[in-house]
């Protein structure tokens, strides 16, 4: 089977079709998949992404049948997961002169996984360009689509976008172009989005914003179909699927604060939730009755409770409010605890324990990592004292919580 398929002038698919049922993110891809790697045979030949680690040796062997690997100038790594960067060690052992083009975070990961410390890297920042002799590549950092280090590559002259996982489909086929597909691929495209991208919705919005002023004729992703017929339709689908639908969703933020720091965190969470379209109410337990708070809790889809810590405990009257709330049926709601602290922050853990004892869907770090891949937000939210540099964490926590109900 042809292992070199032209997609644009001097640009070729050189990937691998994997027609096995492929284990993937705790699923089995019954239709298989492809690992799309692209060779740009310009004056400074450049490879964009590789293939799955299981096919590394085969990939390099086939590539070298049609191409002198000693002439390879750049290897662009958009994303480090082993289904795309996995063949890099095998490749670099033959491509002695190649420079790895990637983000700073990806370099860290590559060195951790493959020990490529001795190779030359070109570190990319958002918006950088690279002249590869006859084509110019432009790079956009798109963190969390779907992992932290990710970037995408755009070939300016021929208007080809190489977005790695983004805009992919999982299907094993040598009829690689969407206009050659034997049936409509829209459903497969949407399923892929819902499995891999949907939980990163805010980052999809940021990525679409970055791409909005560039003309894209062909989308050449890392799995499945190359979208050369009506690429705009697929960008529009991402736009539509990533629109939030937070209408009628409500949140309650209940807190007590000793010096005002926990109140500031409450305000930040409020900002994150309302930015995400959630109607949030913020209540200082000092100033509202239990009955009003219970009514708000009953109406809310997210309940967030915080307290400062004094002498190893919560402050003020908030415990009475919490006892009432956790005795309610909270099975359809999400929640988490937060607070500012100076020493050990026991109040946050006590609130967390109360929520654990209820039937609320308690948001914790495990759930966040599994749902979004983000490992820099931690729940319960514990902020040591408070300063403006910490604001971004609590605002983002509010945004992340909103994602669970939109």
Q: Contact residues for ligand FEO (CB under 6 A)?
A: 79, 81, 83-84, 146, 165, 222-223
Q: Which is nearer to ligand FEO, 38 or 341 (CB)?
A: 38
Q: Which is nearer to ligand FEO, 149 or 403 (CB)?
A: 149
Minimum gap (Å) between residue 231 Cβ and ligand FEO: 20
Minimum gap (Å) between residue 276 Cβ and ligand FEO: 25
Minimum gap (Å) between residue 344 Cβ and ligand FEO: 38
Residue 174's nearest CA partner among 22, 23, 33 is 33
Minimum gap (Å) between residue 197 Cβ and ligand FEO: 10
At CA 161, angle to CA 98 and CA 229, rounded to 5?
135
Q: Which is nearer to ligand FEO, 167 or 341 (CB)?
A: 167
Minimum gap (Å) between residue 317 Cβ and ligand FEO: 48
Residue 11's nearest CA partner among 303, 232, 216, 220 is 220
Residue 2's nearest CA partner among 23, 17, 22, 20 is 17
Q: Which is nearer to ligand FEO, 211 or 222 (CB)?
A: 222
Tokens 């009955």: give the residue.
291
Minimum gap (Å) between residue 358 Cβ and ligand FEO: 36
Residue 183, classified by CB atoms within 10 Å of its CB into exposed (0-12), middle (13-18) or buried (19+), is exposed
Residue 334's nearest CA partner among 245, 249, 274 is 249
Q: Which is nearer to ligand FEO, 41 or 165 (CB)?
A: 165
Residue 335 belongs to what H/E stretch? Answer: strand 334-341
Please state, in angstroms and as integers, the Cα–Cα distance from residue 307 to each residue in 195, 261, 282, 286, following that order: 36, 10, 13, 12
Rounded Cα distance, 325 and 302, in Å: 12
Position of minimal CB gap to ligand FEO:
81
Q: Which is nearer to ligand FEO, 84 or 399 (CB)?
A: 84
């Amino acid at each position: 089977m042809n292992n070199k398929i032209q997609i644009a002038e001097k640009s070729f698919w050189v990937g691998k079709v994997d027609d096995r049922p492929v284990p993937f993110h705790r699923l089995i891809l019954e239709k298989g998949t492809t690992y799309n790697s692209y060779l740009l045979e310009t004056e400074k030949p450049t490879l964009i992404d590789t293939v799955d680690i299981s096919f590394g040796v085969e990939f390099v062997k086939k590539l070298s049948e049609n191409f002198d690997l000693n002439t390879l100038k750049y290897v662009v790594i958009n994303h480090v997961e082993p289904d795309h960067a996995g063949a890099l060690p095998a490749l670099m052992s033959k491509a002695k002169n190649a420079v790895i083009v990637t983000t700073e975070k990806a370099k860290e990961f590559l060195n951790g996984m493959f020990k490529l410390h001795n190779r030359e890297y070109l570190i990319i920042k958002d918006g950088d360009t690279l002249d590869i002799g006859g084509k110019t590549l432009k790079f956009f950092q798109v963190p969390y689509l779907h992992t932290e280090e990710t970037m995408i590559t755009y070939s300016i002259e021929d208007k080809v976008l190489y977005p790695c996982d983004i805009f992919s489909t999982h299907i094993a086929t040598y009829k690689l172009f969407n206009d050659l597909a034997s049936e409509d691929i829209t459903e497969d495209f949407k399923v892929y989005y819902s499995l891999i991208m949907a939980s990163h919705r805010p980052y999809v919005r940021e990525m679409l914003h970055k791409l909005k002023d560039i003309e894209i004729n062909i989308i050449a992703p890392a799995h499945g179909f190359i979208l050369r017929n009506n690429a705009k339709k697929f960008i529009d689908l991402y736009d539509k699927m990533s629109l939030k639908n937070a209408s009628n969703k409500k949140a309650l933020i209940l807190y007590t604060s000793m010096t005002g720091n926990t109140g500031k965190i409450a305000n930040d969470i409020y900002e994150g939730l309302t930015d995400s379209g959630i109607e949030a109410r913020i209540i200082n337990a000092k100033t509202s009755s239990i009955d009003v708070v219970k009514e708000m809790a009953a109406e809310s889809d997210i309940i967030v409770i915080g307290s400062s810590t004094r002498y190893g405990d919560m402050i003020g009257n908030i415990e009475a409010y919490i006892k009432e709330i956790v005795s309610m049926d909270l099975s359809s709601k999400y929640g988490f605890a937060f607070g500012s602290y100076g020493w050990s922050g026991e109040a946050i853990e006590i609130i967390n324990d109360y929520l654990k004892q209820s039937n609320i869907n308690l948001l914790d770090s495990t759930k966040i990592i599994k749902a979004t891949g983000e490992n820099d937000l931690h729940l319960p939210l514990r902020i040591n004292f408070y300063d403006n540099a910490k604001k971004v964490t609590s605002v983002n926590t509010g945004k992340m919580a909103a994602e669970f109900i939109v």
